[in-house]
Amino acid sequence: MTVELVCKAYKGRTVADHVSLTIKKGEIVGLLGPNGAGKTTTFYMVVGLVKPDSGRVLYNGRDITKKAMYQRARMGIGYLPQEASVFRKLTVRENIWLILEGINISDEERHERLERLMKDLDIARLSDSLGYSLSGGERRRVEIARALAAEPSFILLDEPFAGVDPIAVQDIQSIVIALQKKGLGLLITDHNVRETLAIVDRAYIMSLGKILVSGSAQFVAKDETARKFYLGERFQLDQIEKLGQ
């Protein structure tokens, strides 16, 4: 999946300025930066929530820039929004089933996929729990299961670590790594820089609408430009150790 020189401006103010990035299958990529950097707008252009003024988004070499989010989903691009997306008055089972009903597969396959998702995400014990009763970490697991229901090739995660406690953050990190090992490509944008750099293969650092630096977590963590504009001078390289290796 490739983003080529996308630009976006609002009321004459450029928020994304010729941004390019790539995400490959089996790879975790971070899109990071301070508030106002343009990362959210860039992320939304990849998702299909925002249309770029110029540039292209390519999926398997196909131009999908004008494709709506639901069309991208059908092509194999999953999306985990930052906002809570679990239906509060439905059970965990019903929340996942609702997504499966929109997929063109047999009822038998739906049931098989439902049970597999609940097992893989360790939420089978919560199958009859209502959405409003879930903790932040449990809710995130259900939302990830919903995002995986269509068996996408790529998943775009918007602030996956927001609103969850430290133990749940570790659980989500483990889930993301497991998805990578299954061959999925994952793009993460999150304000929790340490938690994100701990699991990414590569990261892009944005500031003022531009990509400042890109590379491995270790490279980015010691890059002077990244430290000056985002990480801070006290950010230590030895605090970053790639999980899952």
183 within some domain: yes
35 within some domain: yes
Print the domain residue range for 183.
2-86+148-239
123 within some domain: no
Does residue 129 register a pLDDT over 80?
yes
28 within some domain: yes
79 within some domain: yes
pLDDT value at residue 162: 85
Does residue 243 register a pLDDT over 90?
no
CATH of the domain at 62: 3.40.50.300
Number of separate domains in the chain:
1
Among left, alpha and beta (phi > 0; psi -120 to 50; other), residue 60 is left
199 within some domain: yes
Does residue 85 register a pLDDT over 70?
yes
Average pLDDT over residues 31-53: 92
Please provide the average confidence, as pLDDT, over all residues in the chain: 92
pLDDT value at residue 216: 94
96 within some domain: no
pLDDT band of residue 53 (cuts 50, 70, 90) is very high
- Please tell me the pTM assigned to this model: 0.90
70 within some domain: yes
pLDDT value at residue 163: 80
pLDDT value at residue 96: 96
Average pLDDT over residues 143-155: 94
Average pLDDT over residues 133-161: 93
pLDDT band of residue 233 (cuts 50, 70, 90) is confident
Instruction: Give a three-class secondary structure readout of the chain.
Output: CEEEEEEEEECCEEEEEEEEEECCCCCEEEEECCCCCCHHHHHHHHHCCCCCCEEEEEECCEECCCCCHHHHHHHCEEEECCCCCCCCCCEHHHHHHHHHCCCCCCHHHHHHHHHHHHHHCCCHHHCCCEHHHCCHHHHHHHHHHHHHCCCCCEEEEECCCCCCCHHHHHHHHHHHHHHHHCCCEEEEECCCHHHHHCCCCEEEEEECCEEEEEECHHHHHHCHHHHHHHHCCCCCHHHCCCCCC
